Amino acid sequence: MNGNVQKMMKQAQKLQRQMMEAQDALAEERVEGTAGGGMVRVVADGQQNILEIKIEPEAVDPEDVEMLEDTVLAAVNDAMRKSKELAEERLGVFTKGMKIPGM
């Protein structure tokens, strides 16, 4: 039995190390969310961090700031959705069957 416990511990440590490596790799992944026909672009990494927001000058209308705000919000939400999907895809092999909050 002791050998089985040691084997399980080694497997658990290996799985933990692989999951940490996958999470680190997500920090290097990039996804892009867009809105307004590409007038607003948002780049996020695979860990749901917003890295960049680009707004085409034509999207800026001083008379309609609310539309720009809505467009930026839509692009951010698109990028976040894609980032979460990427994380689920990459980490799914580790979390399959587990109920992990936020995943």
Show contacts of 37-42: CB within 8 Å, 24+ apart. 39/71, 40/68, 40/71, 40/72, 40/74, 40/75, 41/75, 42/72, 42/75, 42/76, 42/78, 42/79
pLDDT mean over 14-23 = 85
pLDDT mean over 66-87 = 96
Please give the single-letter amino acid code of residue 39. Answer: M
Q: What percent of the chain lies above the pLDDT cut of 70? A: 90
> Are 81 and 33 in contact, with CB atoms under 8 Å apart?
yes
Q: Which residue has the higher pLDDT, 23 or 71?
A: 71
Superfamily of domain 2-94: Nucleoid-associated protein YbaB-like domain (3.30.1310.10)
Query: From CA 37, how far away is CA 35, in angstroms rounded?
Result: 5
3 pLDDT higher than 80: no
> Are 67 and 61 in contact, with CB atoms under 8 Å apart?
yes
78 pLDDT higher than 80: yes
Q: What is the pTM of this model?
A: 0.74
